Amino acid sequence: MAVFIIAEIGINHNGDLAIAKKLIDVGVFAGCDAVKFQKRTIDKVYSKEELDRPRESPWGKTNRDQKIGLEFGRKGYDEIDRYCKEKKMPWFASAWDIDSQLFLRQYDLKYNKVASAMLTHINLLNMIAEEKKYTFISTGMSTLEQIDGAVEIFRKAGCPFELMHCKSTYPMDDEDANLASINTLRERYGCKIGYSGHEVGLAVSYAATALGITSLERHITLDRAMYGSDQAASVEPMGFYLLVGAVRKIEKAIGDGKIYVQPKEVPIALKLRSHIPWSDARV
């Protein structure tokens, strides 16, 4: 089964539609399966005190200025929807609040995403599950008991889903990846398991692929030096192109695990074993 590769644009567009389109183009060029954004209703996700805090950014001097600057509204997402259809690239988004999930229902999206930060938002999970769209659920900063609760909601609703192993640090140190958790999640829940990575580089994602993940999500950026909290944990265009190509090669290399002589090996065996007496040969 092919790994479903998601190019996580998130908020790396910095509120600029031109950058968003270039990032969509990166996903198209690399050959990923979908691009993903993040949607927030600022006053629902953050408190007034948090929004009023001083923060220097390209959009102003408060957290509110910065958060509003990073968000697209209806006009922006209409254009994203149009552009993705033109490029034949599926898109979807992770909603961080109920109003944002309602907003996303305006579009004919095939997938939903539960961000790690939202895994304990029970009302939001119930709302997403009732849509019965295939849902990717990230498990960063969550206990098994919290994941149990999310899985119960989706199974009770009959909503198809897969879990994504994740560590919510930006960027993540390689030694914190704990990729063995992929097998733990698979054994505990008996479902498909993906990987959402925030590490620098590609090696950890390759290793996750070799462990049999069914989906892979990585943040992408035009330049890791750009403004933004997620940029340093993101993959630049050429790196993402290499990542997708390598994952497809690893998929082919894993195989089915059965031991047998491949037809391509037969003439080699006949040649290299021709000097072995028949009486000594093992069938």
Separation CA 162–CA 154 (nearest Å): 10
Confidence of residue 112 (pLDDT cuts 50, 70, 90): very high
Question: The whole model's pTM is what?
Answer: 0.95
pLDDT in tens, 182-206: 999 999 999 999 999 999 999 999 9
Is residue 282 pLDDT above 80, yes or no?
Answer: no
pLDDT at 186: 98
- Mean pLDDT across 115-141: 98
Q: Is 133 in contact with 159 (CB distance < 8 Å)?
A: yes
Separation CA 192–CA 44 (nearest Å): 32
pLDDT at 1: 72
Q: Is 216 in contact with 3 (CB distance < 8 Å)?
A: yes
Q: Is 42 in contact with 73 (CB distance < 8 Å)?
A: no
Domain 4-258 annotated CATH 3.20.20.70: yes
Is residue 281 pLDDT above 90, yes or no?
Answer: no
Where do the structural domains in the chain lie, given as residue ranges?
4-258
Is residue 283 pLDDT above 60, yes or no?
Answer: no
Beta-sheet pairing, 193-197 with 134-138: unpaired
Measured from the Cβ of residue 202, the count of other Cβ atoms closer than 10 Å reads 17
Is residue 28 pLDDT above 80, yes or no?
Answer: yes
First-to-final CA distance of the chain: 33
Q: Is 134 in contact with 109 (CB distance < 8 Å)?
A: no
The C-alpha R_g of the chain, in whole angstroms, comes to 22
- Mean pLDDT, the chain, integer: 96
